[in-house]
Structure 1
């Protein structure tokens, strides 16, 4: 059974996943607090950085821009890329297996909250070549 204290998490409470383009801190999910239907993370992207086009087979994703601004690309059903300028307050739905990418075009750090349903894509990120673990508190 999950301790009630594990239901409350800040990004600094968990190890972060570091990448060449930024970092991701999984704050909710099966390995963090026993969530079964989804996982969630806070993503930090420095100015001028972004993650490459990718998809999450078998999972939908919600992206919510917490701060900063950038460009969000989502491919349509035919594979044609569609890019929108996004800023704090914008929600983006990424359908199952749809390719997408994010680029921070602003002058400040971009912070994003993401939710995967079902959980799992966050674990696959550990297999990327530029993955490195950033210990809690760093």
Structure 2
């Protein structure tokens, strides 16, 4: 059995780099053997963010660590519900629900995301603009 990594720093994992920012998966089956969820840190540059998308079969929690932005989550009828979000705000995205996050501030926006079950983070690697940056201090 693979040794579990209980403590993972952001420089310990690779970075999924995109035009809009980056994602560091710090908890997943591949990183430390987590089985019910995956998690990590997303950083969006000013005016950057995720286009409208969903994670089929997965719920998501987004916690805003720093910055400010606009968050949309579709309600049960498919209507967009939009709100300004700042540090300290938790966003719940129900299973398979469409959503987007945009940084509306002048500084990078940092969020901590959790997917349940794990797997949505693997799909990001398949996006055409995804570039993998190896782990290390420079990957910050």
Q: Same fold (TM over 0.5)?
A: yes
Partner Cα separation in structure 1 for residue 38 and residue 107 of structure 2:
26
CA-to-aligned-CA distance 1:66-116 (integer Å, 9 cap, x gap): 000000011111111111000000001000000000000011010000000
Runs (4 or more) in structure 1 with deviation over 4 Å come to: none
- Provide the residue aligned with 2:43 in structure 1: 44
Counting only pairs closer than 5 Å after superposition, residues 1-138 of structure 1 correspond to structure 2 as: 1-3=1-3, 6-137=5-136, 138=139
Cα displacement (A) at 1:2: 4.4
Over the aligned positions, Cα root-mean-square deviation in angstroms equals 0.9
Q: Deviations over 1:11-59 (max 9, x none)?
A: 1110010111110000001000000000001000011101100000111
Per-residue deviation, 1:134 = 1.2
- 3-state SS, counterpart of residue 83 of structure 1: strand
Q: TM-score, normalised by structure 1?
A: 0.96
What is the distance in 2 between the residues matched to 1:2 and 1:87?
38
Q: Name structure 1 gaps, 5 residues minimum.
A: none
Alignment length (residue pairs): 137
Residue 32 of structure 1 aligns to a residue whose secondary structure is: helix
Q: How far apart, in 2, do the equivalents of 1:10 and 1:40 lie?
A: 12
Unmatched runs of 5 consecutive residues or more in structure 2: none
